[in-house]
Each structure stands twice: as C-alpha cells, then as structure tokens.
Amino acid sequence: MRLDQVKALAVGALGFFCCMPYVALPVGARTALQVGSILSLALAAPSIYFCRRRDFWLALVLSVPLLVSALKVGVVEDDLELAIKSVVTMILCFTTVIAATAWTPKYANAMQTGIAMAIVLHVVVGAVQIYSFSIGQFPLESFYNNPSFLSVQDNADTIARYIQRPFGLFPEPSAMSSSLAPWALFWLAEGFGLVRLREQPASWQRLLFRCAAVSALGLIIVSRSGHAAVTLAAAGLFVVLWFSRCRATARTYWVLVAIVAVALPMVIYFAADALGDRLRGKSELGNSSWEDRFNSLSFGLRLLVDRDFATLIFGVGPGLTSPILQRIVRMEAVWSVLLTYVYETGVIGAIAVTIVAQHLARAWKQVRYSIAFAAIAIVWLVGITVTTSYVELLPLWLTLGWLAIWPTICAPLEVAGGGRRSVGRNLSHKPLKQSETTRSNYPRNWKLKVIDLTTQSEQPASAQKAPAIHRRWSHK
C-alpha cells in the first residue's frame, strides 16, 4: 500500500469516527476521549509541529479566549480545576478543525466517504430503533456509553416507551440532526449541480454520497427534531433552484412525480408533527423542549451581563455556566454550543467568533456567493446556536473546517467564457479541464471587425492594420 493511500485511509477514518460519538474511552466520571479526537490529534500534529498557520489559526483564535477566561477564573474565582478540564475538552474539539483544514483539500473524497459510511450506519440503527420502539424495547443499549453526553442508558425505558424518536448512534435526535444535516445538504446540492467538486469522486462514491444524503434526510424527518424545519427549507430551496434550470426530460418528470407524490406529503406530515410538539412545549428528554431552550439562553445571558465588569469582558469562565444554572434555576446547561462559548468567554470570545465569521464570509465571496454554501452554513449555524449544546460532537467542528476551506474543495459554478452560473446543468459531474478557456469558445475561422467611427460602418480587419489582439488570435 502506497503512502498516499495510507493518508487517504487515515482521512477517511477521521471522517467516520468523528461521526461516531460513542466510540470513546471513558476518562473520569463525566468525560471521555473519542477515537475521532485521537485521530484528529494525530493528523493535526504535523501542522502544529511545522507551524502551518493556514491550518491551525482558526483553532488558535478560538482557543485564546478560553485560556484568558480560565486565567480570570484562577485569579478571581476558586474553581480553576473545572475550568481547565473544560478548556482541554474544547481544545481537543478544535484539533478536529485543524485536521480538517490540513488534510481535506487533498483528500476531500476520502473524508466524504468516511462520513457517508458513518451516516449509512446511523440510518440502519435508526431503522432498527423504529422497529424496536414499536414493541417497547431499546436496541443496542450497551453501546451508548460516553459520560460526556446525557446518559441514554438511564433513560432507555422512557425513550422506548414514550418518546419513540430514532436518533441513530447519537445522544438524542437534535444532536443527530445538527451533526448530519450539513453533509446531507452538501451531497444533495452536489447532485443537483449546485456544487462542483474540484476532485471528482468515483461512481461508487457518488452513489454512496447520494444514498447517505437521502437516508439522512429521512432519518432527520422521522426523528421529529426541531432542526428538521430549517434543514428541509434548505433542501426545498435546492429543489426549486434545480427545477427552475433543469431541462424538460422524462427523468425530470419522474423526479417531480416522486417529490410531489411521495416526499412532499411526508415532509408536511412530519414537519407539522414536530412543530406541534415544540409549540406545545412538550418536554421529553435532554434538549427536547424549545421553551426550556430559550429559557436557558436567557438565563445564560443574565449570567454574563448582570455581574461585574470583569465577567462581561472575560466571561463567566469555561465550564462554569452549567453548575451555576443547576444551582440557581435547576437547568442542566445553556442549550447552545455557540452561545455557551460566548457566555463563558465574554467580549473576547465574541470578538473571536466575529473573526471566524469574517473568514467564512471571505470564503463565501471566493465561491461567488454560492447559494449552497450560504444554505449549508445557515443550517450549521442554527444547529450550534439553538439546537444542541454538546460541544463534544465532532461533526460540528468537522463542518466548520470544511466551510473554512470550501474554495479549495469546490470550484465556482461558471460557464467557461459566458460568465453565467451553470446551476442545474450537471456540470458537477464533469471534471475541470485546462482547455475550458475563453479561447476555446470561439470558432477557428473568426475574423476581427473594426468599426469606422466616421462612417459608422463595419470593415473587415484585413482592410485595416491588424491590432495586437488580431495577430494573437488569428489561426490563419
């Protein structure tokens, strides 16, 4: 096996195990070291050792506020041990961003293959869960062993008898949806011609990606997660863009029949069911009640702004919002990854988030304001802001690394020489060629014409002194 194949296999393993949060080694009573984190450390080590700033600067920007806030806790507070544990956990998550930015540009297809295989496994487990829940049993209970997440084993009977919402090998449905939705949408956009990969996947890989995308969307729908609404809105936008530009063929007709007759009724039914649960404030398990979510966000903001000036600037402290909320209002945590980071690091953390957002905006500009990029980024942002609070979910950080280097993975959609976007024309399935230049679009026997401004008439170039551009492009 060649070295390049070994590297591709390692990147594929990174994508697979980052999507498997329960493949982990317990470390203490409330933490665990995931295999995905171990692989991230191994793949990020060369970038850190050789000081490749382009690979690790995002992680460094996000790590500095945590270290400063932990220092403030050591000086002002008396809970430095918990703060240090939280900083270590977050930095381990940031190594996934480093690994993604360092290795994905060259091994994008290997990364996608690993993620797609993990998604298919989650969907299979989700199908088994649907059947087992119908008979009041929880399958594979012993596999859900990671102290970093809410204990599924302690609530297995409640989930199987009353909740009955499949979530694969994730802690709960919202965590599953937040982790898988961006990747399902990316492959959906690639299939509709909204995304053009620079390195084209093999036929079997493309088939795997599409199966993973469709099955992941199905699992997200039947899980009745609140995050499904924004995910389906993005998928609907992709369908509309594809339909508005596709050709009138028999294939297009049957795709529309499948969408209108099968997919659309299912989407409306399950979306209405999920929305009804949320509007009724139905609290089931963990992050399931939207009323509790927004209450936790409100209380977390008060912890930041209603205290002293040092707390406003440096934050509450890494890992300290959860015990404070448990003590004051009997809530487990602030149910948001992004806002928890801001509350715990204060104004300095907000500045770091702004720098990362600015970098993502520049990446969006480089791909000429791709609609697919914007939709996937919004779905990911909703997931980390109001859907899940588990910072240990490595797919969230893998997606951040992917978005940060999107221009190196995907080429801008453009018709060669025409300057118009080629959405919906299946250009994503054609490899980029050096011959796709402006020159190749002109016929070989074309002649430059010069307009005589005095007579307002056109004369052939042979009657005038040939300009430089004519001598360059003439094929005679």
Tens of pLDDT along 451-460?
Answer: 444 444 444 4
Q: 350 with 468, same domain?
A: no
Average pLDDT taken over every residue of the chain: 81
Q: 115 with 216, same domain?
A: yes
> In which domain, by residue range, is 456 found?
447-476
Number of domain units in the chain: 2
Q: 407 with 451, same domain?
A: no
Q: 200 with 60, same domain?
A: yes
Residue 432 placed within a domain = no
Domain boundary at 386, 411, 436, which?
411
Least confident stretch, 236-250, 286-300, 449-463: 449-463
Residue 428 placed within a domain = no
Residue 423 placed within a domain = no
Q: 127 with 18, same domain?
A: yes
Domain boundary at 365, 394, 411, which?
411
Model pTM? Answer: 0.82
The whole-number pLDDT of residue 39 equals 95
Residue 440 placed within a domain = no
Q: 171 with 29, same domain?
A: yes
Residue 425 placed within a domain = no
Domain boundary at 362, 394, 411, which?
411
Q: 342 with 452, same domain?
A: no
Q: 221 with 324, same domain?
A: yes
pLDDT tens digits for range 401-453: 999 999 999 988 763 334 444 444 444 444 444 444 333 333 333 333 434 44
Least confident stretch, 35-39, 63-67, 306-310, 453-457: 453-457
Q: 219 with 364, same domain?
A: yes
Q: 112 with 226, same domain?
A: yes
Highest-confidence segment of 40-49, 266-275, 344-353: 344-353
Q: What are phi and psi of 25, to 5 degrees?
A: -105, 115
What's the whole-number mean pLDDT along residues 177-195? 93
The whole-number pLDDT of residue 324 equals 87
Q: 108 with 199, same domain?
A: yes
pLDDT of 254 over the 80 cut = no
pLDDT of 181 over the 90 cut = yes
pLDDT tens digits for range 357-393: 999 999 999 999 999 999 999 999 999 998 888 999 9
Residue 419 placed within a domain = no
Residue 350 placed within a domain = yes
Paired tokens of 133: 């829940």
pLDDT above 90 as % of the chain: 45
Residue 386 placed within a domain = yes
Q: 403 with 459, same domain?
A: no
pLDDT above 70 as % of the chain: 77
